[in-house]
Amino acid sequence: MTYFVHPKAICETSAIGTGTRVWAFAHILAGATIGANCNVCDHVFIENDVVIGDNVTVKCGVQLWDGLRVEDNVFIGPNATFTNDPFPRSKQRPKQFASTYLRHGCSIGGNATVLSGITIGRNAMVGAGAVVTKSVPANAIVRGNPARIYSYTASIKPVPLTGKPEVDDKLKSSSLSVQGVTLHRVPTFEDIRGCLVAAEMEKEIPFVPVRFFIVYGVPSTQVRGEHAHRKCHQFLICIQGSVQVVVDDGNNRQELVLDRPDVGLHIPPLIWGTQYRYSPNAALLVFASHPYEADDYVRDYDTWLALEKAGK
């Protein structure tokens, strides 16, 4: 065999990749498929309709039930719990179990509970003890019961997340580490009567807007955005309160706090954008270069990643 099975393990399948290790008291049923270079630790149970990719780690005390799909480089912490039937009844087996997906590179913390029929996105991280009741977007860090987005993971290439942007008063624009994304200073006029922010469309904004919308009244636990555009440019200004914005070009990811009405963020097409942690009074003004077109939105992270890399 090109893989290792401990003498005290029960392994009924031969669909196991090269270099995988199955340790003591694990039990793998005949229909399961396990990729290469995986590590299945003590007291793990894997049911028939389970597919596991390459380089996956399954720590002790985990049960993987029918309908679970685990992509490459996933980490499953000790005693993590998965379900596959939203309405379980003794001796009543559903016609088909719900499918749950753990996407490439995600991590499930110890003692976390993941309900059935949801997706844990690419590179996402589920905190220890979290109860995940809804799908988790790519790169998100969730924790708590029910699990809520706390933050986002660092860049694919180790570029640290930025904090509140410091914009020089004399600087009209500055480039970020994410390709094509720029931070702009919008002219401000201040006197004894108060402050005024004003912009000429073709001068301060790097495109001519044809549409605008305002996002406000967002509960702090909710996330907006989570998409890219095929053609549309966007220019974001937080005119009141604060909101955190994550931008991602597939290689670099950066996070900023928008909390000044004289600072605008330009997000060009094919950049993945996410807004979260809205303050209670936040109002986000967005200028767009194109009319609303449903087909211009790319809402699936893996689909966008393929498009973005093809575009490069």
Per-residue model confidence as pLDDT tens digits over 39-54: 999 999 999 999 999 9
Whole-number pLDDT of residue 136: 95
Cα 266 to Cα 52, 98, 176, distances in angstroms: 40, 40, 10
Whole-number pLDDT of residue 290: 96
Residue 170 has pLDDT above 50, yes or no: no
**Which of 158-162, 180-184, 207-211, 276-280 shows the lowest per-residue confidence on average (mean pLDDT)?**
158-162
Residue 36 has pLDDT above 90, yes or no: yes
Active-site residues, by number, are 227
Q: How many CB atoms lie within 10 A of CB 256?
A: 22
- DSSP secondary structure letter of residue 300: -
As a whole number of angstroms, the distance between CA 273 and CA 97 comes to: 33
Query: What percent of the chain is modeled with pLDDT above 70?
Result: 93
Residue 30 has pLDDT above 90, yes or no: yes
Read off the pTM: 0.84
Residue 156 has pLDDT above 90, yes or no: no
Residue 161 has pLDDT above 60, yes or no: no
* Band of pLDDT at residue 172, cut at 50, 70 and 90: low
As a whole number, the mean pLDDT across the chain is: 90
At 199, which amino acid appears?
A
* Band of pLDDT at residue 158, cut at 50, 70 and 90: very low
Cα 288 to Cα 30, 182, 204, distances in angstroms: 54, 15, 14
Dihedral (Cα; 99, 104, 109, 112), 10-degree rounding: -10
Residue 192 has pLDDT above 90, yes or no: no
As a whole number of angstroms, the distance between CA 90 and CA 77 comes to: 28
Please confirm whether the linkage preceding 146 is cis (ω < 30° from 0). yes
pLDDT tens digits along 213-230: 999 999 877 888 899 999
Q: How many CB atoms lie within 10 A of CB 210?
A: 13
**Which of 6-15, 195-204, 253-262 shows the lowest per-residue confidence on average (mean pLDDT)?**
195-204
Cβ proximity of 241 and 280 under 8 Å:
yes
Q: What is the mean pLDDT of residues 51-66?
A: 98
